[in-house]
Structure 1
Amino acid sequence: MADAAAEMDAIYRVQRHIYDASRKYYLLGRDGLIEGLDPPPGGTVLEIGCGTGRNLILAAHHHPSARFFGIDVSPAMLETAAASVARAGLSHCIRLAQADASRLDADRLFGIAQFDRVFVSYALSMIPPWRDALDCAFRAVSPGGALHIVDFGEQGQLPSAFRTGLRAWLRKFSVEPRAELEAELRRLAEQHGAVLTFSRPFRDYACSAVLRRAA
């Protein structure tokens, strides 16, 4: 975890201060994911790769009866997230912890092994062992719960010059769209008897998925 944390801190130690202001223009679909979480009353929600805490804060406002938890590998990002959560007056319902998403042990971190909702917003594209992180995320979903994902798509329906420029820019931040994400989600659905909804909004700029575990 130390190497991953150091790499993320190196990228975002300065960027974290402008992250939310700059990313809102191209991390498309995050707010729709948050609105669609729909946790049960008093339910639990975990975000994998919570970054600055922006999504957790918005989710807590949308779903005030739920309890929220977030992990990130970057201490610098978690420092910003903790300050933002405190400033929003939400420390009572949002808990944060440092963890490697590919080796998640939520029970050790929070005393909760599974959650009603788990979500991952534009983080799998930044995690080299993303398949391991995806498996961990789904294991953290309670029976009858759901894993929600939004991330970069393949941009296959967009002009090639735009796609080439976007990919080059994303690589500067160690971001790589996961071309096999849908296939991996379908594998999990078949393996666990789950139900998958998968779409490619914004002309495949992004991909959006909900994987519902059987009750």
Structure 2
Amino acid sequence: MTDSTHAHQMDAIYKIQRHFYDVTRKYFLLGRDRLIARLQPPPGGTVLEIACGTGRNLVAAARAYPEARCYGLDISEEMLASARAAVARAGLEDRVTLALGDAADFDLEALFGVHAVDRAYISYAISMIPDWQTAIHQGIAALTPGGRLHLVDFGQQERLPRLFRAGLYAWLDRFHVAARKELPELIDRLYREGHAVEFERLYGGYAWAAEVGKKR
């Protein structure tokens, strides 16, 4: 079931922004290409982007892994309009499938006709998803045995100047974006046992990256 309030909020934010989103975000959504390079799905595998936005990452993933089948869901119809256009421009409609869906409450079978995926990822979206903990759990639940969930998002700017951190957070707040300081503790507490877990602080803590692998 889609969170209609959050969906309307995202549509309102991105109705105009989606047209120049990728041009502006490439300078500060750091670590996205690193995440894509680390996906490494098996030959003929499947890749899911949760909260796929404009489709920028999905197109990059599909190009990087030409044998993979890619899926993307987003709660915003406005963003999906941009994603569909991006996929069509790239000529990838035969390998990339998009659907309207809530990151915290989705059904792979209903949306895409598949039971599980080999790789899933959430790129700079957990900072915007109200129930972000459930979104992470949903991503892990969607994996095949041996599959991996990849995350990258804003960190706590641990090694960066205090004024920079304050300015960044004030700017992000205007767009309902909140860096999740609880992320490493949550990953460690909920998934360390029974999963293969990695966590890294990138670029002085500007970004945080995590991977959770489902045991076979």
Q: Which bracket does the TM-score occupy, shorter chain normalised?
A: over 0.9
Q: Is the 8 A contact 1:50 1:72 kept in 2?
A: yes
Aligned amino acid, residue 89 of structure 1: G
Q: Name the SS of the counterpart of 1:144 in structure 2.
A: strand
Instruction: Give the structure 2 partner of residue 41 of structure 1.
Output: 43
- Cα-to-partner distance string for 1:136-179 (whole Å, 9 max, x where unaligned): 11101110010001000011211110000000000111100001
Per-residue Cα deviation, 1:65-117 (whole angstroms, up to 9, x for no partner):
00000000000000110011011100000000011111121111111121100
Q: Which residue of 2 aligns with 1:181?
A: 183
Match of 1:194 in 2: 195
> In structure 2, what is the equivalent of residue 205 of structure 1?
206
The 2-side partners of 1:34 and 1:190 are apart by 23
Inter-partner Cα distance in structure 2 for 1:184 and 1:91: 36
The Cα RMSD (Å) is 0.8
- Which secondary structure does the structure 2 equivalent of 1:17 belong to? coil
Aligned length: 214
Alpha-carbon separation, structure 2, partners of 1:13 and 1:133 = 23
Q: 1:70 aligns with which of 69, 72, 76?
A: 72
Shift of residue 58, structure 1, vs aligned partner:
0.4
Q: Secondary structure at the match of 2:43?
A: coil
Structure 2: distance between partners of 1:188 and 1:116: 21
2:215: which partner in 1? 214
Tell me the amino acid that sits aligned with residue 142 of structure 1.
T
Of all paired residues, the percent bearing the same amino acid is 51
The residue correspondences of 1:1-215 to structure 2 (distance < 5 A) are 1-191=3-193, 193-215=194-216
Post-superposition, which runs of at least 4 consecutive aligned residues in structure 1 deviate over 6 A?
Answer: none
Q: Tell me, which stretches of 5 or more residues in structure 2 are unaligned? A: none
Cα distance in 1 for partners of 2:198, 2:124 equals 17
Alpha-carbon distance between aligned partners in 2 of 1:110 and 1:207, rounded to the nearest angstrom: 29
| Alpha-carbon shift at residue 4 of structure 1 (Å) | 1.2
Tell me the SS of whatever aligns to 2:169. Answer: helix
Shift of 1:33: 0.5
Please state whether the residue corresponding to 2:127 is helix, strand or coil.
helix
Distance in 1 of aligned mates of 2:81 and 2:110? 21
The 1-side partners of 2:70 and 2:90 are apart by 14
Shift of 1:14: 0.4
Q: Which runs of 5+ in 1 are unaligned?
A: none
